[in-house]
Structure formats: structure tokens, C-alpha cells
Amino acid sequence: MLIANVLRDKGAAVFTLTSDVTLESAARELHTRKVGALVVLSETDEVIGVLSERDVVREVARRGPKALEDRVSAAMSRTVITAHLQETIDEGLARMTDRRVRHLPVLEEGRLIGIISIGDLVKHKIAAAEAEAAAMQAYISAN
């Protein structure tokens, strides 16, 4: 199964922000949107980072509540690991595991078109395994 299938089923909604927003505002946005990460865009809509809940927690743990006054640029992951529509779920899961990330922005021709989480990919893997098991059971029962 491809990342394109996951994005089609999940939807292409992706929440973004700019690097000059405070960590407090970003944390509120994460809470309001009920997401674990926000994609950070430049003024020209280029993906320049990802800010996750973990990034915020790490900064607060390191510097205390004053960290919330800092800009997103101080805490975001700048090395952005991405996915493409024609990649398989297994390729995405492997990349997430190897790079220790939980979210992959999905790009098409360099343009942000969505985001997938490790939970999205695991959900699809489980659904595929259940469908295969049901098909095998039906086949065995028919014979």
C-alpha cells in the first residue's frame, strides 16, 4: 500500500505555522488542532521545519517556562524528513524508525500536500493484515 492511499483516506489537512511564532502560541495550536506536530513554512511556503509536542516539552524541560517565550525557530526540527506519494507504507515506517521521527510531511514536486504520522501508517498496516486474514479465513471456509 502506498502513502498516497493513506493520505487519500486520512485527508490532506495539514496545519502549519511560521518560525517567528512563540512556542506558547505553537503549543496552543497543537492543543486546539489536536495534532502532534505542525509543519513550519517560510514566507514562500517552503517547508523549513517541523515542530512536535516533543520539541516543546524538551525546550520547557531544558529551560523552564521561559522557553515558551522563544520562537518556534529555536525548537523546531530543521532537518525535515519527508515522504512522497508513491512510497510504500513500509518505506515510510522504516524511515520514521531509522530517523526517530513520528511525523512525515508529504511533498509532491517540492510542495507540501499533507502530513502522515506513525499512527496513520500503523493503522493502515493493521487494516491490511486484518483484511488479508479475513480473506484467508473465507477461502479456507469455502474449501
Q: What is the pLDDT of residues 39-58, one digit of tens each?
A: 999 999 999 999 999 999 99
pTM: 0.86
Q: Measure Cα distances from 15 to 19, 79, 143 in Å.
A: 13, 18, 50
107-126 mean pLDDT: 93
* Per-residue confidence (pLDDT) for residue 99, from 0 to 100: 94
- pLDDT range class, residue 23, cuts 50, 70, 90: very high
CATH T-level topology, domain 3-142? CBS-domain (3.10.580)
Checking if the pLDDT of 130 tops 90, the result is no
* Per-residue confidence (pLDDT) for residue 127, from 0 to 100: 84
